[in-house]
Structure 1
Amino acid sequence: MHVFAKRQDFSFDGIENLPLLAVIAAFVGLLVGFVVIGFRACIEFGTKFLLRVESDQFERLEPLWHFLLPIAGSLVAVALFFVLRRESRIVGIVHVLERFNSADVKMPIRNAAYQFIGGALALIFGVSGGREGPAIHLGAWTSSFVAHQFRLTHNSVRVIVACGITAGIAASFNIPIAAVVFTMEVVMLEFTIATFLPLMLAAFAAAALVSLIYPTSPVFELSPGMALHDWNALMVVGTGIAVGIFASLFKYEIEFFSDLKIGRVWQRMLAAGLLTGAIALILPQVLGMGWDTAVALVAGESEANFTIAFLLTLILAKLLATSACIGSGLPVGMIGPSIVLGVMIGTLCGMVESSVLGSGSNTPTVVYGLLGAVAMLGATLNAPLAALLTVVELSGELDLVLPGLLVIVAANLTTYGLFGRRSIFVSRMHSLGIPYPPHPSVLYLRRSSVRACMDSRIKLMDQSPSATDRKESSRDKDIAWLIHPQSDNQFLVHGTRESNSQFASARASLLSSQSSLEEALTEMDTKKVDVVCATQSRSSHKIIGVLTREYIQRMQTKLVDDKQHQKE
Structure 2
Amino acid sequence: MNLSRSARSLAQWLLLGALVGVLCGVASAVFLFLLDQATRFREQHLVVVYTLPVAGLVIGALYARWGQPIRGGNNLVIDTVHEGDQQIPLRMAPMVLLGTVLTHLFGGSAGREGTAVQMGGSLADALAHRLRVSPDTRRELLAAGIAGGFGSVFGTPIAGAVFGLEVVVVGRMGYEALLPALVASVVGDLVTRGLGIVHTVYPAPTALALSAGVLARWLVFAVAVAAVAIVFVEGTHRLKKLLEGRVPWLPVRMAVGGLAVVGLWKLVGTTAYLGLGVPTIVRSFVDPDLPELAFAWKLLFTAVTLGSGFLGGEVTPLFFVGAALGNVLARWLGLPVDLGAAVGMAALFAAAANTPLALSIMAVELVGASVLPHVVIVATVAYLLTGHRGIYPAQRIGRLKHGGPLLSRLIPLRELPVEPSQPQEPSTRQEPSKR
TM-score, normalised by the number of residues in structure 2: 0.83
Structure 1 Cα separation of the partners of residues 233 and 127 of structure 2: 34
Aligned to 2:29: 37
1:193-272 aligned within 5 A: 194-214=176-196, 219-222=201-204, 227-230=206-209, 232-260=214-242, 261-264=245-248, 265-272=250-257
1:376 and 2:348 matched: yes
1:49-128 aligned within 5 A: 50-51=41-42, 53=44, 62=46, 65-66=48-49, 68-84=50-66, 86-88=68-70, 90-104=71-85, 106-128=87-109
Q: CA deviation at 1:436?
A: 5.3
Asked if the contact 1:279/1:286 (under 8 Å) is kept, the reply is no
Look at both structures and tell me which one has the larger radius of gyration over its CA atoms.
1
CA RMSD across the alignment: 3.0
Asked if the contact 1:76/1:122 (under 8 Å) is kept, the reply is no
Q: CA deviation at 1:133?
A: 0.3
Q: CA deviation at 1:437?
A: 5.6
Unaligned 5+ segments in structure 2 are 400-405, 411-428
Aligned to 1:24: 16
- CA 1:121–1:234 in 2, change beyond 3 Å: closer, same or farther? same
1:429 and 2:413 matched: no
- CA 1:414–1:104 in 2, change beyond 3 Å: closer, same or farther? closer
Aligned to 1:341: 321
1:153 and 2:128 matched: no
1:134-533 aligned within 5 A: 134-187=115-168, 190-191=172-173, 194-214=176-196, 219-222=201-204, 227-230=206-209, 232-260=214-242, 261-264=245-248, 265-281=250-266, 282=268, 283-298=270-285, 300-303=286-289, 306=290, 310-312=291-293, 314-353=294-333, 361=334, 363-395=335-367, 397-416=368-387, 421-425=388-392, 428-429=393-394
Q: CA deviation at 1:345?
A: 0.6
Unaligned 5+ segments in structure 1 are 1-8, 54-60, 354-360, 444-520, 523-551, 560-568
**Partner amino acid, structure 2, of 1:287:** L
Q: CA deviation digits over 1:213-232, x for unaligned, max 9? A: 4566762124xxx6322562
Q: CA deviation at 1:178?
A: 0.6
Aligned to 2:414: none
Q: CA deviation digits over 1:22-75, x for unaligned, max 9? A: 211111101210011111112222333x4364xxxxxxx65x554x15334423
Asked if the contact 1:133/1:332 (under 8 Å) is kept, the reply is yes
Q: CA deviation at 1:341?
A: 0.8
- CA 1:292–1:214 in 2, change beyond 3 Å: closer, same or farther? farther
**Partner amino acid, structure 2, of 1:302:** P
Asked if the contact 1:29/1:164 (under 8 Å) is kept, the reply is yes
Structure 1 Cα separation of the partners of residues 255 and 275 of structure 2: 16
Q: CA deviation at 1:442?
A: 6.0
Structure 2 Cα separation of the partners of residues 86 and 218 of structure 1: 34
Q: CA deviation digits over 1:500-526, x for unaligned, max 9? A: xxxxxxxxxxxxxxxxxxxxx98xxxx
- CA 1:437–1:290 in 2, change beyond 3 Å: closer, same or farther? farther
Structure 2 Cα separation of the partners of residues 233 and 33 of structure 1: 39
Q: CA deviation digits over 1:333-390, x for unaligned, max 9? A: 112211111101110112223xxxxxxx4x3211111111122012101111011111
Asked if the contact 2:25/2:152 (under 8 Å) is kept, the reply is yes
Structure 2 Cα separation of the partners of residues 44 and 85 of structure 1: 25
Asked if the contact 1:18/1:194 (under 8 Å) is kept, the reply is no
Q: CA deviation at 1:152?
A: 0.6
Structure 2 Cα separation of the partners of residues 96 and 329 of structure 1: 18
Asked if the contact 2:113/2:150 (under 8 Å) is kept, the reply is yes
**Partner amino acid, structure 2, of 1:19:** A
Structure 1 Cα separation of the partners of residues 288 and 55 of structure 2: 30
Asked if the contact 1:105/1:158 (under 8 Å) is kept, the reply is no
Structure 1 Cα separation of the partners of residues 261 and 43 of structure 2: 21
Structure 1 Cα separation of the partners of residues 316 and 342 of structure 2: 14
Structure 2 Cα separation of the partners of residues 124 and 38 of structure 1: 15
Q: CA deviation at 1:188?
A: 5.8
Q: CA deviation digits over 1:132-184, x for unaligned, max 9? A: 10110001111111111111111101111211111101111000111111111
TM-score, normalised by the number of residues in structure 1: 0.64
**Partner amino acid, structure 2, of 1:412:** Y
Structure 1 Cα separation of the partners of residues 23 and 69 of structure 2: 26
**Partner amino acid, structure 1, of 2:159:** A
Structure 2 Cα separation of the partners of residues 423 and 79 of structure 1: 28
Secondary structure in 2 matching 1:107: coil
Aligned to 2:426: none
Structure 1 Cα separation of the partners of residues 157 and 407 of structure 2: 27
Structure 2 Cα separation of the partners of residues 269 and 229 of structure 1: 45
Structure 2 Cα separation of the partners of residues 437 and 326 of structure 1: 28
Structure 2 Cα separation of the partners of residues 235 and 321 of structure 1: 29
Secondary structure in 1 matching 2:22: helix
Secondary structure in 2 matching 1:284: coil
- CA 1:154–1:369 in 2, change beyond 3 Å: closer, same or farther? same
Q: CA deviation at 1:97?
A: 1.2
Secondary structure in 2 matching 1:424: coil
Q: CA deviation at 1:440?
A: 7.4
Structure 2 Cα separation of the partners of residues 36 and 191 of structure 1: 25
- CA 1:103–1:213 in 2, change beyond 3 Å: closer, same or farther? closer
**Partner amino acid, structure 2, of 1:290:** G
**Partner amino acid, structure 1, of 2:254:** M
Structure 2 Cα separation of the partners of residues 101 and 85 of structure 1: 22
**Partner amino acid, structure 2, of 1:288:** G
Q: CA deviation digits over 1:115-148, x for unaligned, max 9? A: 1211221122221110110110001111111111
